[in-house]
Structure 1
C-alpha cells in the first residue's frame, strides 16, 4: 500500500510540474495565478454565456468559441444552462463554480453577493414601430452599389477569419447599407464592450441636460476626502483622473476583478489611489467609466429602478432603441465600461445622435456644445486624441487612422467593435464582430465613405 501511495504522489507531482511548465503556453496563464485565473475564467464564462444565450440568442458552440478566443483554458469550461431560471453556471475542471442570472430589461449579472434588489426592478419593453430607420424598424433606404460593397467586405472579412457579424452605413441620416453574418439579424443585440464607455458619457450628458443642477462639485464621491477630491467630472470623462487603476486584462488585475469578481464594479476604481495630478496624464481606465456610471446612479437617488428608468425614458425611448440592454452589476449600477448589448441599427442611432450635435428629431437630448466638447482633444501631456469617452482620429502628432478624415471620432470596443462618426462626410459606420487580433478599420471604413 505504501508503494502505491508513493507512486500516486509521484504522478500528482509530475502532473503539477507539467501544468506549471505548460500553462503559460497552453492555457494562457502562469500556474502561480491559478486561483485568480479560475475566477476570471468562470466569471467570464458564466457572464458572457448568459448574455450570449439570453440576449443575443447564441448557442453553446458559439458562446464557447467566443470565450476560447480569450484563452485556450476556456475550452475546458463546463457551462450549464438553466433555461427555466435563465441562469448559466460555469466551472473549470470542477473548480471555481460561478453563475450569472438573466433578468428582463437588465440582462445578465454575475451572482456575487446580495443581488436581490435587482429582482424588484421592472422594465417595460419599448415597442418597435414600422416607421423607417431611425424612427422605427421599417425598411431602410438601401444604396445598391454600397450594399454590394458591404456584402463583399463582410464575406472577405469572414473568409479571412475576422469574424465580422454586422456592418452598417448611414449617409446623410439614412441607413443606406447593412450586412449581417449567418445567425445575426438587424434585431440581434451584440456586445459593444468598451463602446459602452461612449454611451455612459452620453448618459452623463443627458442627465446634465435634464437635471442641470446635478452636483459636480468636489469631491465627486464622499469617499474622496483626500487629494482625490480635486478630480473633476471632466477628468473622469477624458480618462485623465490620475487614478492608479490597472487596466491589464490578466488574472488578479483591477480590470478583471472589476468585471468578473466584484459585487460592485465601481468599487475597484473608487478605492484606487492617485498616481498623477488630475487632468495631467491620460490613462485608459475602464474603472474610470464605472465611476461615471456610479456618479449617475447616485445623482438619481442610488436606486437601480431609477437608473434603469432614466436610461429607458431619456435615451432608449427617444432614439427608438427597442432592442438595447445596458447591464448592471450585482449592486445595481450600470457596468458602463463594458456591458451594453445593442443591434447594429441601435449603435448607428447613437452615432447619428452625435453627428446631429446631440439633437434628435428636433429635440436637444444633449446639452448645447456637449458634442463639440466630447470630440475635442484633452489637455493631457501624453495622449490628447481622446475626448469624452470617444477616441479621436486627430488632435495629436499623427492620425489614428490615416485613411480616414481627421475630424472623425469613434466608439471603440474589444474584439474590434467600432462606430465611426465622420462629420465632414456626414457618415456613420458600424462594425460589430469578434476579432481576436487586428481589424483593418481604417482601410475598410475608407471604402465606405462618399
Structure 2
C-alpha cells in the first residue's frame, strides 16, 4: 500500500511539474493580455470589468487572470494565481499600453493633435443623422431578417455578434447592436488596424513622398540578404522574413504584443527564412515594422502621431477612433485601434469610393486596386494588408469583395460591384460564425 501511495505521489508530483513547466511561461502572456484588455475596454469604451471579463476576456486560459482596475491612477493589473502580475496604463490620446518594470510612468510623452470639428452634413460625411431613404430594389423584410439572424437568440451565446451595419449607396439601410452596445460604443478592431496602417502608405504615395516599390528604408538590412526587401513585399506579407503567428502558443506574435518595448523592431531583427517575394506568410510583426518605417518618415514624434489622424482618421470623420501605442510610443499598427461601428464603416466607404472622400482624393484610385489584387501564394485570400474573396472564400459573395479583418470576427467588407459596405463586429471567428451565410442573406435581400 505504501508503494502504491508513493507511486501516486510521484505521479502527482510529475503532473504538477509538467503543468508548471508548460503553463508558467504562458502566465506572462495571460496576465498581459488580460491587463491590457481590461484597461482598454474600461478607459476607452467605459465598460465595466465584469462586462470585459465575460466578453473580451472569455478566452481559454485568459479567464484564469484576476484583474483589478485603479480608477484614480487610470491603470489595470492582472495576475494568475498571484503570479506574473502585469500592468496596463491608460493615457488620454494614446489609449492603454502594457508596460514592464522598466517603464518610466513619469516620463513626458506626446499625444496626437485631433480635429473633431462638428459639421452639419449628414452621415457619413458629417455628424447629422441621415434622412430616411427607401430603395425600391431592397426587400427590407429579408434584410432585417438576415441581420437579426447574425445575432444570438435570447439565452443563447453562440454567434456573439456585437454590431452589424449595412450601407448601400452611402445610406445606412440596416443597423443592429447587441445588448450593452450602441452606435456610440467603441470596439477594438484588432487586425483591421493593419489596413489602417497600409492606407497611410497609399496617402504618402499620392503625395509623392514614398514609393512602396523601392527597397524598405531599413539601415540594418543594407549589408545582408534583407536589403532587397521592398515596402510592397512587406505590405503583401511576402518579405520572406522569419515569423510565427500562432496565438495558441508562445510565438513571435504573442511575445511582441505582450512583452516587447518597441514592437516595430521585433520583425526588423528577424532573419530571412525565404527568398523575398516568393512566400506568403501572415505577420503582425511586419505591420508594426511598417509603423516603425512610417515613424522614420517624420522629423519629430509629434509629426508622426499627428499624421495618422490628420491625413486619414480625422480627415474622414472617424472621430471616435483611438490607435494605441507601445512602450516606445509608436502606434501598434497591427492590432490596437478602437472605433464605433459607424466610424469603421467610413473606412470601408473610403475604399468603396477608391480614395475619394466627399470630393477630396486621399489616395489614388489605383491604390484601391493595388490592395485588392491577390498576393501570389495566398490562394486569392490576401492582397496588400486586406483580405480578399478572389479565391472564393465566401462562395455566395462576389469575387470583388475585399475586407479589413480582425481577430474574433471583426470585418469591414467592401463590395464595389454592389455599392455596399458591411461591418460586423463580434467575438467569433469564421467557422464558428457563418460569415458566408450572413453575406448571402444580406445580398439576397436585393431584388434582381
Matches within 5 A, 1:5-404: 17-19=14-16, 23=19, 31-66=20-55, 68-71=57-60, 73-112=61-100, 113-114=102-103, 119-121=109-111, 123-124=113-114, 126-129=116-119, 131-140=121-130, 141=132, 145=141, 148-149=144-145, 152-156=148-152, 159=156, 161-213=158-210, 217-225=214-222, 226-301=224-299, 303=301, 305-378=302-375, 380-381=376-377, 383-394=379-390, 396=391, 399-404=392-397
Q: Deviations over 1:382-437 (max 9, x none)?
A: 5343111011101x4xx111010011111111101111100110100000011266
Distance 2:150 2:199 in 1: 29
Distance 1:78 1:53 in 2: 15
**Cα offset, 1:368, TM superposition:** 3.9
Alpha-carbon distance change, 81 to 388 in structure 1, aligned in 2, over 3 angstroms? same
Distance 2:397 2:227 in 1: 39
**Cα offset, 1:123, TM superposition:** 3.8
Question: Counterpart in 1 of 2:437?
Answer: 443
Question: Counterpart in 2 of 1:28?
Answer: none
Alpha-carbon distance change, 12 to 56 in structure 1, aligned in 2, over 3 angstroms? farther
174-183 or 114-123, which moves further after superposition? 114-123
Question: Counterpart in 2 of 1:4?
Answer: none
Alpha-carbon distance change, 99 to 142 in structure 1, aligned in 2, over 3 angstroms? farther
Distance 1:308 1:13 in 2: 57
Distance 2:30 2:117 in 1: 37
Residue 88 of structure 2 aligns to a residue whose secondary structure is strand
Residue 221 of structure 2 aligns to a residue whose secondary structure is coil
- In structure 2, runs of 5+ residues without a counterpart are 1-5, 135-139
Distance 1:333 1:271 in 2: 17
Alpha-carbon distance change, 100 to 211 in structure 1, aligned in 2, over 3 angstroms? farther
Q: Deviations over 1:270-318 (max 9, x none)?
A: 1111111111111111111111111111112361x22221112111222
Distance 1:10 1:59 in 2: 48
Distance 1:260 1:196 in 2: 17
- Is the 8 Å Cα contact of residues 265 and 292 (structure 2) preserved in structure 1? no
Q: Deviations over 1:151-209 (max 9, x none)?
A: 52244467452211000001011122111111111111101111111111112212323
**Cα offset, 1:268, TM superposition:** 1.4
Residue 217 of structure 2 aligns to a residue whose secondary structure is coil
Alpha-carbon distance change, 150 to 106 in structure 1, aligned in 2, over 3 angstroms? farther
Residue 203 of structure 1 aligns to a residue whose secondary structure is helix
Alpha-carbon distance change, 403 to 286 in structure 1, aligned in 2, over 3 angstroms? same
**What TM-score results when the alignment is normalised by the length of structure 1?**
0.88
**Cα offset, 1:319, TM superposition:** 0.7
The alignment's C-alpha RMSD in Å is 2.5
Distance 2:82 2:291 in 1: 35
Alpha-carbon distance change, 169 to 308 in structure 1, aligned in 2, over 3 angstroms? same
Distance 2:281 2:10 in 1: 43
**Cα offset, 1:218, TM superposition:** 2.9
**Cα offset, 1:230, TM superposition:** 0.7
Alpha-carbon distance change, 17 to 221 in structure 1, aligned in 2, over 3 angstroms? same
**Cα offset, 1:65, TM superposition:** 2.4
Question: Counterpart in 2 of 1:412?
Answer: 405
Q: Deviations over 1:215-257 (max 9, x none)?
A: 8643421111211111101101111111111111144310101
Alpha-carbon distance change, 16 to 57 in structure 1, aligned in 2, over 3 angstroms? farther
Distance 2:113 2:12 in 1: 50
Alpha-carbon distance change, 301 to 15 in structure 1, aligned in 2, over 3 angstroms? farther
**Cα offset, 1:107, TM superposition:** 0.7
Question: Counterpart in 2 of 1:3?
Answer: none
Distance 2:123 2:329 in 1: 32
- Is the 8 Å Cα contact of residues 36 and 97 (structure 2) preserved in structure 1? yes
Q: How many residues align?
A: 428
**What TM-score results when the alignment is normalised by the length of structure 2?**
0.89
- Is the 8 Å Cα contact of residues 380 and 389 (structure 2) preserved in structure 1? no
Distance 2:34 2:423 in 1: 26
